[in-house]
Amino acid sequence: MSEVAPNQDRIETSRPRAAASGSGANAAGTIAAGVLLSRIAGLVRDSIFAHYLGDSATADAFKAGFRIPNILQNLFGEGVLSASFIPVYGKLLGEGDNETADMLAWGVGAIMTLGVTVLVAIGVLVTPYLIDVIAPGFEGDKRDLTIQIVRILFPGAGLLVMSAWFLGVLNSHHKFFVSYTAPVAWNVAMIAALLYYGPRRSQDGLAIAISWASVVGSALQIAVQVPQTLALLRKNRIDFARVAAPLRSVFHNLTPVVVSRGVINLTTYVDNVLASLLPTGAVAALNYGQLLYMVPISLFGYSVAASELPAMSRAAGAMPEQMSTILRTRLNRGLRQIAFMVVPSSAAFLILGDVIVAMIYQSGAFTRADAVYVWAVLAGSGVGLLAATMGRLYNSAFYALFDTRTPLRFAIIRVVLTVISGYLCAIPLPPMLGIAQKWGVAGLTISAGVSGWVEFVLLRSALNKRIGWTGLERSFLAKLWSLALGAAAVGFFMKLHMQGFGPRIQGLVILSTYGGLYMFGAWMLALPELKQFTDQITRRFSSRAS
Nearest alpha-carbon partner for 186 in 226, 219, 212? 219
Beta-carbon contacts of 466 under 8 Å, excluding residues fewer than 6 positions away, are: 324, 401
CB contact at 8 A, 361 and 377: no
Give buried/exposed letters for 133-161 (b at 16+ CB in 10 A, else e): ebbebbeeebbebbbbbbbbbbbbbbbbb
Residue 325 pLDDT: 79
Residue 19 lies in a domain: no
Structure confidence by residue, pLDDT tens digits, 375-399 = 999 999 999 999 999 998 898 888 8
Between helices 323-361 and 528-545, what is the axis angle to 10°? 80
Q: Look up the pTM and report it.
A: 0.71
| C-alpha distances out from residue 250 to 4, 31, 72, 112, 127, Å | 28, 24, 18, 12, 30
Distance, in Å, from the CA atom of 31 to the CA atom of 18, rounded to the nearest integer, reads 18
Structure confidence by residue, pLDDT tens digits, 265-314 = 667 777 878 888 888 888 888 988 988 998 888 888 777 777 776 666 66
Residue 1 lies in a domain: no
Distance, in Å, from the CA atom of 464 to the CA atom of 443, rounded to the nearest integer, reads 32
Distance, in Å, from the CA atom of 43 to the CA atom of 39, rounded to the nearest integer, reads 6
Residue 179 pLDDT: 82
Residue 151 pLDDT: 93
Distance, in Å, from the CA atom of 153 to the CA atom of 208, rounded to the nearest integer, reads 10
Between helices 282-296 and 244-276, what is the axis angle to 10°? 140
Residue 377 pLDDT: 93
Structure confidence by residue, pLDDT tens digits, 311-324 = 666 655 545 557 77
Distance, in Å, from the CA atom of 238 to the CA atom of 244, rounded to the nearest integer, reads 11
Residue 384 lies in a domain: yes
CB contact at 8 A, 453 and 389: no
Q: Which residues pair with 363 in a beta bridge?
A: 366
State the residue range of the domain holding 241: 24-541
Q: Which residues pair with 366 in a beta bridge?
A: 363
Nearest alpha-carbon partner for 303 in 10, 19, 26, 29? 29
3-state secondary structure of 363: strand
Phi, psi dihedrals of residue 366, rounded to the nearest 5°: -95, 110
CB atoms near residue 421 (< 10 Å): 18
Residue 481 lies in a domain: yes
Residue 438 pLDDT: 92
Residue 145 pLDDT: 92
| C-alpha distances out from residue 68 to 50, 55, 342, 420, 528, Å | 20, 19, 29, 22, 43
What is the number of structural domains in the chain? Answer: 1
Mean pLDDT in each 10-residue stretch from start to end of the chain (546 residues)?
A: 32 35 57 80 91 88 82 67 76 80 87 89 89 81 90 90 86 81 92 94 93 94 91 79 83 72 69 84 87 85 73 57 76 91 96 95 91 94 93 85 85 90 94 93 93 95 91 95 97 92 93 96 94 73 52
3-state secondary structure of 10: coil
Residue 418 lies in a domain: yes
Nearest alpha-carbon partner for 315 in 34, 66, 86? 86
| C-alpha distances out from residue 334 to 25, 288, 384, 467, Å | 9, 28, 18, 16
Residue 112 lies in a domain: yes
Nearest alpha-carbon partner for 477 in 485, 469, 487? 485
Residue 4 lies in a domain: no
Q: What is the 3-state secondary structure (H, E, C) of 390-425?
A: HHHHHHHHHHHCCCCHHHHHHHHHHHHHHHHHHHHH
Distance, in Å, from the CA atom of 8 to the CA atom of 228, rounded to the nearest integer, reads 29
CB atoms near residue 236 (< 10 Å): 9
State the first-to-last Cα distance of the chain, in angstroms, to the nearest integer. 31
Residue 314 pLDDT: 61
Residue 17 lies in a domain: no
Residue 205 pLDDT: 93
